[in-house]
Amino acid sequence: MLRLFSGFAAVSALVAASSAQAQVKIGMIVSYSGQFADTGIQLDNGFKLYMKQKGDTVAGKKVEVIRKDVGGIAPDLAKRLAQELIVRDKADVLGGFELTPNALAAGDVSAEAKKMMVVMNAATSIITTKSPYIARTSVTTPMLNDALGTWAAKSGGIKKVYTLVSDFGPGHDALNAFKEAFTAAGGQIVGSALFPVANMDFGAFVQAAKDSNPDAIYIWTPGGTQPGAIGKALNERGVDTTKIKILGQDELTGVSALKSMGDLGVGIITAAMYDYNLQNPLNQEFVKAYQAEYNREPDIFSMGGYDGAQLIYRSLEKSGGKADGDSLIAAAKGMAWQSPRGPVMIDPETRDIILDVYIRKVEKVNGQLRNVEFAKIEKVKDPVKAKMAK
Amino acid sequence: MALGEVKSASVDHIARRAKWHPLEIVFWLTTPLPFVLTPDYLQLASQIAITALFAISLDLILGYGGLVSLGHAAFFGLGAYTAGLFSKHFWGEPFSGLLLAAIVAGLFGYALSFVIATFRGLALIMITMGIGQLLLEAANSLGWLTGGADGLQGVKMSPLFNRFRFDLYGVTAYAYSLTALFLCFLVARRVTNSPFGLSLRGIRENSTRMLAIGAPNTRRVRMIFTIAAVMAGIAGALLTQTTETVSLETLGFQRSADLLVILILGGVGRLYGGVIGAVIYMIARDQFSGVNPQYWYFWIGMLLIAVVVFLPNGILGGAARLLPKTWVRA
Amino acid sequence: MIGSFVGVLYDGFAYGMLLFLLSVGLSVTLGMMNFVNLAHCAFGMLGGFVAVTLINDLHWPFLATLPAAFVAAAAASVVFERVLYRRLYGKSDLDQCLLTIGIVFMSIASAAWLFGTVQQPVQLPSWLRGSVDIMGRGFGVYRFFLICVALALTGALIAMLEFTRFGARVRAAVDNQRMARGLGIDVDRVFMLTFALGSGLAGLGGALAIDITGLDPSFALAYLVYVLIVVAVGGLSSIGGSFVAATLLGVSDTAGKYYFPEISSFLIYLVMVGILMWRPAGLFGKR
């Protein structure tokens, strides 16, 4: 009975037991249902595609994946699922995590059980500080918006910006990163508004932004239905994107957003770490395989999942199949590889990703809307953790 | 003389109701079984116990007070944030945080009870829902205090009695939640079987007549609402303490709505309905979503419809009609 | 200043009409028939998916998809009414709650299975897109269209329920079932048709709304709260009440976003709680 109470010792014993088996278990905690289901499913599609391409054996071990639905923002559930995956299913690695609160909650479990955890989408900077066993394969919100802010003031010829941001944690982070970089580079914020998370109608917000006569409107939304609605509002209010530029982050002009915006999206400038139109052979191959498998285009979430699986596989290869947290995270630190989105690396200090950020503009190419990249900022690191280190 | 007879009859009635039925004793004796039989499921068991307590709290106001609330998560979330903030800014000893959460939720419930006591029906449902949403929006905009959408960071609990830490297996968590559930259940049972509880039933059945026989309605309704708020606050605090997380969705509409579903599923107005509802709903969810992570909603939906069709008035309500009369009590 | 005020009023009214179109069916099923139909938006979602499929895959003109959405939702609802809803007429409203939430859950999973979780692309015909410039302000064309549809629908519904034989039967059946039966009204059939009307309206509302709200399987739950707010504030069983409530909520919400963006997320709830405390039965409620 006493032994039962000291779960810690039991878990340590477990670590020893599982590394002796010729099997590696990955527990995926993802939203397969609810409001964020599409994000989770695209992420998991990317993950599955990599496993399909590389087979389910790595470093002599068979990879088994256990999938758990967290159904949206539910940190209490995410934490329980992480605990159960480790205690009951004997998972060696935790993966998935498209939402920040869930990733933060599971981070505690990763730290206590000493298990590697790969964050494949959630984009708040602090997540990786929660446990020394966390690595991230997506991107952080500040990375993109810091790059966008600097670019807008220095190369974009933009002086006055109105900001329109979702009243939601990641929105605040994005805004702060953009504002700081933009004003540091000489820009000026002429007005701002926060819109409710469940907002449907953007007419009034866009009107207020337009009435303040800015050079550009900076918009951040968490994806979903809102980008389409914003595009329609911009068009309806007669915002001419050649006169007032629209700036935003990847999801504003994501695959489904562009579909519902149609031609209204032309001219919107966004910062992103990936787009399926990237012109490099590796990506073209990836997109082709993805379309063949799932009959739709990959997006940033697919990329996080794909490289998430890639990081786990590569780390296992490097550790010679040792799946305990210490061996795996040691292998992951400094890991660099060529991804369909360009060269990426896991920062050996912060375990966060280092990658190239693209500045793109929506254009009509052969009758189809595309995010066409026209500037690239290389080897971007998370600015928040860089500041924390100083 | 006649008055004395009536009095002794009613005392008898209350005493009979307060007596423990053998099924109840059996039920509570089975609750520690997961420690032995399913030691891998203790985290789930702990969260079921917390949800059961939350459902009992809603049953007090819905089943006994006759008030339908779609904003009950307000108290749950308030308790959760109180316990979380307390552990972050003061100390991590669980009992003090639990107590404070109960007090804060109770005070809020008491204050709110003045506002809502006179409303019924759809207006009440929507007002409670609106107040819940307002609290949620407030927590969202007070990001400096609550951590906003990322959830409150820095919640850290000390071991229970300085000895039992909240472990990965959930042994401490389940023991703690189950004890809290049992104690709160005893209180709820006592309250509902007291003369006060009976008068609440009277109010629910026919509030005009209760007024006519001289039982003031709103004061009783306010009292039960406050007791329910305290229990919801305790449930919220338990969730915070056993998971060391607090997020906005503890206050969310979804949590209130799910809770109502759980209580109706189990059966309203029987105290055990909430417990059974929580057990069945959460185990079904866990199992369905384990087998079918993407489409488990379908099977849960089917379960709810099947219960309505085959066991009207919830599982316990339906069972009461199927089982022999002596087994169950209305 | 005046220009922006007129613009806000116009946008708010149009937004209100969107809320009205989404919720008017519920004032029929919940309001008149007294059935707690939380699956209302699931029928709306059905209408939305019918419209999207017809436009994108079969290239129907947008206007032709609207009656199709109405008919599809109404027809589907008849099946549900015959098999499930009918059992619970006049029974506990808590059981009605549980039944309809069960239907919502099943509809969400079915939609995800059939159409995937992706946002459905919605493209309006060009004549409904863009805006007309009047005195330097843009007035959205689709908003104008929504307003026209909502006004026409309100008129038609009130006329039908107040002045036709069918309307009289519905009101009789709803007010006093036993008496209505005694007068030779086929209450069963009237209820079925009324329910089909309410759900058909939901389907129509869904088809009209998706251009603004977007469409994915979470539609069935995401707008339920707004729809309930409109019906509660307007007062049960009052079409006119829903119309006024939707207008009021739409205008105050839009004005809040334009003039006080800091508190805009609180506003719709504040307005609702305030009105219901003042008039618990809603603006035009009888009880």
Q: Do A203 and C4 touch (CB under 8 A)?
A: no
Task: Round to whole Å and give the CA distance between C175 and C182.
Answer: 13
What's the pLDDT score for residue A260?
76
With a cut of 70, say whether residue A150 has pLDDT above it: yes
Nearest of A356, A357, A352, A358 to residue A385 by alpha carbon: A352
Q: C213-229: per-residue pLDDT in tens?
A: 888 899 999 889 999 99
| Residue C11's pLDDT band (cuts 50, 70, 90) | confident
With a cut of 50, say whether residue A2 has pLDDT above it: no
Structure tokens at B325: 């009369």
Residue B56 included in any domain: yes
Q: A312-341: per-residue pLDDT in tens?
A: 999 999 999 999 999 999 999 999 999 999
Q: A199-243: per-residue pLDDT in tens?
A: 777 888 998 899 899 999 999 987 777 888 888 888 878 888 888
Residue given tokens 């329109």 in the structure block? A164
DSSP readout, A9-71?
HHHHHHHHHHHHSSEEEEEEEE--SSTTHHHHHHHHHHHHHHHHHH-SEETTEEEEEEEEE--
The answer for residues whose C-beta is within 8 angstroms of residue A69's C-beta and 6 or more apart is: A30, A31, A32, A33, B289, B293, B294, B296
- What average pLDDT does the structure give for chain C? 90
Q: Do B150 and A169 touch (CB under 8 A)?
A: yes
Q: Do C117 and A37 touch (CB under 8 A)?
A: yes
Query: Which chain C residues touch A34 with a CB distance below 8 Å?
Result: 218
- What are the CA-CA distances from residue B317 to residues A123, A167, B270, B274 (Å)? 47, 44, 9, 12
When CB atoms are compared, the residue of B134, B141, B303 closest to C269 is B134
What's the pLDDT score for residue C170?
87
Task: Round to whole Å and give the CA distance between A257 and A266.
Answer: 12
What's the pLDDT score for residue A390?
72
Chain A residue closest in CA terms to B41: A84
> What distance in Å separates residue A272's CA from the closest CA in chain C?
20
Q: Do C225 and B312 touch (CB under 8 A)?
A: no
Higher pLDDT, C231 or B200: C231
> What distance in Å separates residue A69's CA from the closest CA in chain B?
5
Q: What is the Cβ-side half-sphere exposure of residue B301, based on CA atoms within 13 angstroms?
A: 18
Phi, psi of A363 (to 5 degrees): -135, 160
| Residue B214's pLDDT band (cuts 50, 70, 90) | low
- What are the CA-CA distances from residue B2 to residues B8, B9, B15 (Å)? 10, 11, 20
Cβ–Cβ contact B150 with A under 8 A: yes
Whether the CB-CB separation of A273 and A355 falls below 8 Å is answered with: yes
> What distance in Å separates residue B24's CA from the closest CA in chain A?
27
- What are the CA-CA distances from residue C113 to residues A144, B305, C63, C217 (Å)? 34, 20, 27, 9
Q: C75-108: per-residue pLDDT in tens?
A: 999 999 999 999 998 888 899 999 999 999 999 9
C 247-276 near A (Cβ less than 8 A) = 254-255, 257-258, 261-262, 264-265
Q: B85-141: per-residue pLDDT in tens?
A: 999 999 999 999 999 999 999 999 999 999 888 888 889 999 999 999 999 999 988
Task: Round to whole Å and give the CA distance between A170 and A223.
Answer: 12
What's the pLDDT score for residue B208?
65
Whether complex ipTM tops 0.90: yes
Residue given tokens 């997109």 in the structure block? A287
Query: Which chain B residues touch A6 with a CB distance below 8 Å?
Result: 167
Task: Round to whole Å and give the CA distance between A81 and B44.
Answer: 9
Percent of chain A with pLDDT over 70: 95
Residue B298 included in any domain: no
Tell me which residue range forms the domain holding B219: 37-252
> What distance in Å separates residue B5's CA from the closest CA in chain C?
36
Residue B99 included in any domain: yes
- What average pLDDT does the structure give for chain A? 89
Interface test with B, best of C105, C108, C118 (most B CBs within 10 A): C105
Cβ–Cβ contact B159 with A under 8 A: no
Q: Do C264 and A235 touch (CB under 8 A)?
A: no
Whether the CB-CB separation of A120 and A304 falls below 8 Å is answered with: yes
What chain A holds in terms of domains, given with CATH numbers, is 2-139+280-351 (3.40.50.2300), 142-272+357-389 (3.40.50.2300)
A385: Cα separation from own chain's centroid:
17
Cβ–Cβ contact B160 with A under 8 A: no
Q: Which H or E element spans position C154?
A: helix C141-163
Whether the CB-CB separation of C226 and C237 falls below 8 Å is answered with: no
Q: How many domains does chain B have?
A: 1
A 88-107 near B (Cβ less than 8 A) = 88, 100-101, 104-105
Lowest-pLDDT choice from A262-276, B78-92, B226-240: A262-276
Higher pLDDT, B196 or A347: A347
Query: Which chain C residues touch B138 with a CB distance below 8 Å?
Result: 266
**What is the mean predicted confidence (pLDDT) over B218-237?**
93
Identity (one letter) of the amino acid at C137? R
pTM value is: 0.91
DSSP readout, B83-125?
HHHHHHHS---HHHHHHHHHHHHHHHHHHHHHHHTT--HHHHH
Nearest of A112, A108, A87, A118 to residue A17 by alpha carbon: A87
With a cut of 60, say whether residue A16 has pLDDT above it: no
**What is the mean predicted confidence (pLDDT) over B141-154?**
88
When CB atoms are compared, the residue of C117, C142, C214 closest to A228 is C214
Whether the CB-CB separation of B233 and B101 falls below 8 Å is answered with: yes
Neighbours of B248 (CB within 10 A): 25
Phi-psi region of C238 (alpha: psi -120 to 50; beta: other; left: phi over 0): beta
C2-278 CATH pick, 1.10.3470, 3.40.50, 3.30.70, 1.10.1060: 1.10.3470
> What's the burial of A237, exposed, middle or buried (CB within 10 Å: 0-12/13-18/19+)?
buried
> What distance in Å separates residue A226's CA from the closest CA in chain B?
18
Task: Round to whole Å and give the CA distance between C133 and B302.
Answer: 52
In chain A, the DSSP E strands lie at 23-30, 57-58, 61-69, 93-96, 116-119, 134-136, 160-166, 188-195, 216-220, 245-249, 269-272, 336-339, 342-346, 353-365, 368-380
Task: Round to whole Å and give the CA distance between B20 and B13.
Answer: 14
Interface test with A, best of C115, C264, C267, C270 (most A CBs within 10 A): C264
Encode B256-280: b = buried (16+ Cβ within 10 Å), e = exposed: bbbbbbbbbbbbbbbbbbbbbbbbb
Higher pLDDT, B48 or A266: B48
Interface test with C, best of B118, B119, B122 (most C CBs within 10 A): B122
**What is the mean predicted confidence (pLDDT) over C12-37?**
92
Whether the CB-CB separation of B237 and B102 falls below 8 Å is answered with: yes
Task: Round to whole Å and give the CA distance between B59 and A368.
Answer: 57
> What distance in Å separates residue B150's CA from the closest CA in chain A?
5
What's the pLDDT score for residue B1?
47
> What's the burial of C148, exposed, middle or buried (CB within 10 Å: 0-12/13-18/19+)?
exposed
Chain B residue closest in CA terms to A69: B293
Q: Do B239 and A100 touch (CB under 8 A)?
A: no
What's the pLDDT score for residue B7?
65
Structure tokens at C165: 């034989």
Q: C212-269: per-residue pLDDT in tens?
A: 888 889 999 988 999 999 999 999 878 999 999 999 999 998 888 888 877 888 889 9
What's the pLDDT score for residue A232?
81
> What distance in Å separates residue C157's CA from the closest CA in chain B?
24
Whether the CB-CB separation of A95 and A69 falls below 8 Å is answered with: no
Percent of chain B with pLDDT over 70: 91
Interface test with A, best of C118, C132, C141 (most A CBs within 10 A): C118
Nearest of A251, A265, A260, A258 to residue A304 by alpha carbon: A251
Task: Round to whole Å and give the CA distance between C24 and C230.
Answer: 9
What's the pLDDT score for residue B328?
52
Cβ–Cβ contact A263 with C under 8 A: no
What's the pLDDT score for residue A13?
45
